[in-house]
Amino acid sequence: MRILSGIQPSGQLHIGNYFGMMGPMVRNMARGELFAFIVNLHALTSVHDKARLVRDTLEAAADFLALGLDPEKCTLWVQSDVPEVTELAWVLSTLAPMGLLERCHSYKDKVAKGIAASHGLFSYPVLMAADILLFQAEVVPVGKDQKQHVEVARDIAQKFNNTFGETFVLPEPEIETSVATVPGLDGQKMSKSYDNTIGIFLTEKQLKKRVMAIVTDATPVEDPKDPETCNLFQLFKLFAPADRLEEVRALYVNGGAMYGVIKQELVGLIWDYFRAARETRARLVDDQSYLREVLRQGADKAREKAGVTLDLVRDRIGLKY
């Protein structure tokens, strides 16, 4: 089984990234052939600062490795180091119906949140389709909000296959329903775009400040509360042991849940959960030569795979003569 997913180097990694994609990706090393990449070309839709993009790209690599990704058991690379993807994106763009792209909710959502409208932002799903199809990925672990983009990749692949002959595998999105959407501080989906995240590698002081800012209602302590509608509880259950989770659930249902106390406990749970990763990452970010070498080797492996697919595409459409 070929499994693929990537992450943008457009800011600090947060727990929504981890539970929605990073954690499952690490587990996927045991399931099949894993392709993991840092999507710095996609990041250009919102990041126009050279120093920041370079820094964030290397730090994203450190994040991947610190959280358990093993470059000996997968292929890890930076998107722009495999130029075959941009050629395939152009080919696919000549087949992608405008109506299909106009229906993509991500573009509308991002523009509504203040991200400048651009051709790159609009055609983002085509480049994502190229990322997926170039490696003949069968499974694409994504958050709920990215499911539509995998469906777009399927639609474009099917149109290519119908037009030029069987070429691409049709990918399937895979969503862990229990963490399909991790809530942010305000109860919306956790997203850097909404500034409602809890970073994985914050200092303890920063972590406490973010957790204490989680929005809760004004229900009195002694009154019963529905834990399933409380974003604090939804975050708490990602980290709490099963027995402690049931104790806190009972406090919600029967009365007695004190939000401030639960937040303090959540700070400790998050801090302990990522302790080993935090220590590993601190070492990695100080060894940029090692990070660059890992990414170079990964790009070489990725280009071997990409070259096979692109050579087939060129032959199918008439670019080989």
What's the 3-state SS for the chain? CEEEEEECCCCCCEHHHHHHHHHHHHHHCCCCEEEEEECHHHHCCCCCCHHHHHHHHHHHHHHHHHCCCCCCCCEEEEHHHCCHHHHHHHHHHCCCCHHHHHCCHHHHHHHHCCCCCCHHHHCHHHHHHHHHHHCCCCEEECCHHHHHHHHHHHHHHHHHHHHHCCCCCCCEEECCHHHCCCECCCCCECCHHHCCCCECCCCHHHHHHHHHCCCCCCCCCCCCCCHHHCHHHHHHHHHCCHHHHHHHHHHHHHCCCCHHHHHHHHHHHHHHHCHHHHHHHHHHCCCHHHHHHHHHHHHHHHHHHHHHHHHHHHHHHCCCC
Residues tagged active-site: 110, 189, 192
Kindly report the number of other CB atoms within 10 A of residue 121's CB atom: 17
Dihedral pair phi/psi, residue 290, rounded to 5°:
-65, -45
Pair 15, 182: CB distance under 8 Å: yes
Say which amino acid occupies 23: G
Kindly report the number of other CB atoms within 10 A of residue 258's CB atom: 10
